[in-house]
Amino acid sequence: MDDIAISNDLIEIHDPEIDVDEIMQQIRERIHQRYKTLEYSSRVFPTFGAAAYPGEPEDGDFDADLYYHLRKVNDVYTQIGVDLILAPSPATRIPILGCLWKRIRRGAHNLVLFYIGKLTEKQVTVNRHLVSTLNRMAVQLQAQEEDLKAMRRELERLRG
């Protein structure tokens, strides 16, 4: 019993004849074989959060306009907001009623800003998904461009 220690619902085996990495590798292989036997389709789960701006390619051969606009949209897609701006009104200078009008006016503007805020939350979510899609597409486009260049070089090598 000296080779087994139990702590916090975790079992540790201290036996030199047991190779944990080898056992885990066998388990993974059996799972993989089981999936193939049952013909499970491989599932791809989406990552959560926004796809990050990929940055300009290192080789310097890219569409500068595309990456300029992509960088700009990544910088500003969350910057939707409206602040409370009340223009001066002569009605607020009327004694007694002016103070009451100022409070009503501020309350009405805050109510409108509340609902605009709810709308902009949804718009930022849509923007995040659209910008993430553009970022992923830019990465794929660059990879395809590199593959195309490699194919052209290979074709030129075979022709020459």
Q: What is the per-residue DSSP string for 33-101?
A: HHHHHTTPPPP-PPPPSPPPP----TTS-S-HHHHHHHHHHHHHTT-----------GGGGSTTHHHHH
pLDDT on residue 1: 46
Q: Give the chain's residues under pLDDT 50.
A: 1
Q: What is the pLDDT of residue 44?
A: 63
The CA distance from 61 to 146, in Å, is 10
| pLDDT for res 43 | 64
In single-letter form, the type of residue at position 129 comes to H
Question: For position 106, what pLDDT does the model report?
Answer: 92
Predicted confidence at residue 150, as pLDDT, reads 93
- Residue-level pLDDT at 3: 59
